[in-house]
Amino acid sequence: MKTESLCNIASQFRIQGNIESINSLGEGFINDTYIVKTEGNAPDYIIQKKNKSIFPDVPAMMDNISKVTDHIRKRVINAGGDIMREVMTVVPNIDGKLYYQDNDGEFWVVSVYIPDTIAYDRADSVELARKGGQGIGKFQALLSDFKAPLAETIKGFHNIRHRFNQWDESLSKDAAGRKADLTREIEWIESRRSKMLDFWKLVEDGTIPMSVTHNDTKINNILFDTNGDVLCAIDLDTVMLAPALNDFGDAIRSYTNTGAEDDPNLENVEISIPMFEAYTDGYLSERAKTLTRSEIEWLAFSALYITYEQVLRFLMDYIDGDTYYKIKKPEHNLQRTHAQYKLLCSMERHYDEMKNIVDRIAEKYQNL
C-alpha cells in the first residue's frame, strides 16, 4: 500500500477549515512534528507522528494526555481562565479516536495550535527561570487532586533501577563494539550507582510519594504568552505517575546549564546558581505548602539524580549504536554524555549550596 500524504492524514481528524499548508516544525529528538495551517479564521493545528519504538502504546499515551488535559481544563474553567490557551486541546479523528493509524501502521495525533505564544530554546535570564519554575509548579498543583490512574507509557522512565537493568544489558551486548574505548565514561556511571539506588529506594518504600508528573520539563516544553506569562505545559507524551521531584530535577538540568546540552566546549558547561535559585523560587512559590518534608529534603538531590540519569541514557545510546536519540553527527551521543557529565560534576561541587537555597526558600513560602 502507498504511504499516505500528510494532507490525507490531517484530513482524518476533526479539524475546522480547509488545509492551506503543512510544514515541519521544531527539532524534537523523538517525534516528527508539523504545523497545519488552515484558511481563514479556523484554528491551525499541530500534527505529530509519534515514535512507535519509544512509545509502544500510543493509545494509552493519548488516554493519559486526554485525562490530564480534561482535568486541567475543568480547573481552568473554575478559575475563569481561557481554555483555548491555558491547556492543550487534543483533536480526535473522525471515528472519535485520539489518534489515527496510517497505512504504514504509524500513529498520528493532532492538537490545536495555540497562536501568539513564545517557546524558548533556553532560559537565558533569572526572570525566565523563575517563571518556568512557576509553570511546572502550577502544572503539578493543577493536578494535585487528580485521582484517576495513569498508564506507565514508558516503563521505568526515571526509575534508575530499571535504567541499570538496561545499562547492564547494553554493556554485556556491546552492540556497536564501542565499550572498549569508554572505560572512563563507564566508571563515571559505576562509581555513583549505589548512591543513586539509595535515593530510589526511598521512592520504592514510599518515603518519597508518587504524583502526576510531566517528565520532560525543559523550558521548550512550556508555552509563554507574548507578554511573558506562563500559559501551559506542552508535550505531554510522558505524563505519568512519578515522584514530583523528577520534574524539578529535569528542569534544573536544562535551565541552569550555562552551556548547551551537547556543548562541544566543556568550559561552557556549569550550573548557574542564580538560575537554580530563581527556578527553585518559582517552583516552591506554587508547591512549598504541598510538598512533604522528605520531598523538600531531596529536592536538590533530584537535580543530580536526573542529570546522572541523562549521562547514563546518552552513553547507553552511544553504546547501543545510537538507536534511541536522533543524532546529527557520528559521536553526538558521546558529546552529549561529556557535556551532561560536566554539568553533573558542577552540581556535585555546589550541592551543599543548592540544599541551603532549597531550605531557605521552602521556609520562606511555608511561613507565608
Contact stretch for ligand GN1 (CB under 6 A) within 28-36, 40-48, 68-76, 275-283: 28-36
State in angstroms the smallest separation of the CB of 211 from ligand GN1.
Answer: 18
CB atoms inside a 10 Å sphere around CB 15: 21
**Burial level of 17, CB count in 10 A (0-12/13-18/19+)?**
middle
Task: For residue 235, state whether it binds Mg ion (rule: CB under 5 A).
Answer: yes
Contacted entry of ligand GN1, Mg ion, none for residue 54, CB cut-off 5 to 8 Å set by kind: ligand GN1
State in angstroms the smallest separation of the CB of 212 from Mg ion.
Answer: 16
Contacted entry of ligand GN1, Mg ion, none for residue 29, CB cut-off 5 to 8 Å set by kind: ligand GN1
Number of residues that bind Mg ion (CB under 5 A): 2
Q: How many angstroms separate the Cα of 347 from the Cα of each of 48, 99, 121, 249, 367?
A: 35, 41, 22, 11, 28
State in angstroms the smallest separation of the CB of 316 from ligand GN1.
Answer: 12
Q: In the bound complex, which residue of the shown chain has the CB atom lying closest to ligand GN1? A: 29
Contact stretch for ligand GN1 (CB under 6 A) within 26-34, 79-87, 103-111, 284-292: 26-34
Contact indicator for 259, 341 with CB cutoff of 8 Å: no
Give the DSSP letter string of 17-81.
S-EEEEEE----SSSEEEEEEESTTSPPEEEEE--TTT-S-HHHHHHHHHHHHHHHHHHHHHTT-
Contact indicator for 296, 148 with CB cutoff of 8 Å: no
Task: For residue 250, state whether it binds Mg ion (rule: CB under 5 A).
Answer: no
Nearer to ligand GN1, 12 or 238 (CB): 238
Bridge partners of residue 306, in order along the sequence: none
How far is Cα 52 from Cα 33, in angstroms, rounded to an integer? 14
Q: Number of helices and strands (H, E) in the chain?
A: 11, 11
Nearer to Mg ion, 216 or 247 (CB): 216
Contact indicator for 321, 175 with CB cutoff of 8 Å: yes
Write out the three cell numbers for 328.
Answer: 546529527
State in angstroms the smallest separation of the CB of 178 from Mg ion.
Answer: 26
Nearer to ligand GN1, 28 or 81 (CB): 28
Task: For residue 28, state whether it binds ligand GN1 (rule: CB under 6 A).
Answer: yes
Task: For residue 155, state whether it binds ligand GN1 (rule: CB under 6 A).
Answer: no
Task: For residue 216, state whether it binds ligand GN1 (rule: CB under 6 A).
Answer: yes
Q: Which of 20, 60, 61, 12 is nearest to 37 (CA)?
A: 20
CB atoms inside a 10 Å sphere around CB 153: 23
Selected from 10, 15, 30, 236, the binder of ligand GN1 by CB under 6 A is 30
State in angstroms the smallest separation of the CB of 96 from ligand GN1.
Answer: 27
Task: For residue 54, state whether it binds ligand GN1 (rule: CB under 6 A).
Answer: yes
State in angstroms the smallest separation of the CB of 326 from ligand GN1.
Answer: 8
User: Which residues are near Mg ion by CB under 5 A?
Assistant: 216, 235
Q: Which residues bind ligand GN1 (CB under 6 A)?
A: 28-30, 54, 216, 235, 238, 261, 310
